[in-house]
A and B are shown apart, each in its own frame.
Chain A
Amino acid sequence: MIRKRIINFLIKYLPGEIAYAHCDIPCGIYDPHAAQVGAHTVIRMTQLLNELKREGETKAEHDIARMTQAKEEHGSLIEDELGTLENDYFKEEHFREYPELKKLIADAVKLSIKTRQTIDMVSAEQLLEAVLKIAEIFYKTKNLEPVRVKSPYPTEREIVVYK
């Protein structure tokens, strides 16, 4: 009984952290594209939420709910994709060769969380920039030459591809 109380107390009040139980079958297929699409979607949803006009109260609430959900889901997608790249693809030698990589990933995850919590275009722009830089490093580790091109998305921001 006392043990159970102590455990419940610990579960309630100890600061929480995450440990990864990797579930990937090591297939060698990694790509920063999904994170980039996620970051563009976060920007687009932030734009749409900022531009939303309240012509009909119910419709506005409905639209806000859908846009917020899309922003939330794509923020989670970014965090998952970056987690996979960090844990499964990038190796020690990559982190040595690109000493800024670890901080870039950490910053991107924090920005993603912030963009989910807020309707903040500045954070959304910073998130995309961090994801683009990570994508550039990814392609360099593959001995491919990364290049920024204008995306075909309504965000009208850039996306990283390779030559």
Chain B
Amino acid sequence: MLLSKIKVVGHSMEPTLKQNKIVIVSSIPYLFKKPTIGDIVVLKRQKYIIKRITAIKKEQVFVIGDNKKESTDSRNFGWIKKDSILGKVIHIG
């Protein structure tokens, strides 16, 4: 995902990202710097999901929605391989 326009569907990233928010996502920042805690990233599972990195270990990341009460995330499906990260949110429209 060199550079993509992504529409957010769902409420798990509220209040940071509301439903239907458009964000620009890119993998370019990760060419120069490793993913860090606090980054909002788009990951590939069965579909694209958007979450925030809250913990990192070796080749895996733990991601959680900002709206913790209403989010299905690593607390449910566990750690995700870093390879699954498609890009970082670089702009919130």
* Interface: B6 (CB within 8 A): yes
In the complex, the answer to whether B71 meets A87 with C-beta atoms within 8 Å is no
- Kindly report which residue of chain B lies nearest to residue A95, judged by CB atoms: B46
Shortest Cβ distance from residue A147 to the other chain B in the assembled complex, whole angstroms: 27
**Interface residue count for B (Cβ, 8 Å)?**
35
In the complex, the answer to whether A7 meets B10 with C-beta atoms within 8 Å is no
In the complex, the answer to whether B49 meets A11 with C-beta atoms within 8 Å is no
Known contacts: A10-B5, A11-B5. The answer to whether A19 contacts B67 by CB under 8 A is: no
**CB-defined A-B contacts under 8 Å, sample of 24:** A7-B93, A10-B5, A11-B22, A11-B93, A14-B3, A14-B24, A15-B4, A16-B22, A17-B5, A17-B7, A19-B8, A19-B42, A20-B9, A20-B10, A20-B48, A21-B8, A21-B11, A21-B51, A22-B10, A23-B67, A23-B70, A23-B71, A24-B72, A87-B47
A19-B49, A21-B9 known; 15 new pairs, CB 8 Å cut-off, are: A7-B93, A14-B3, A14-B5, A15-B4, A15-B5, A16-B5, A16-B6, A17-B6, A20-B48, A21-B8, A21-B50, A21-B67, A23-B67, A24-B72, A87-B49
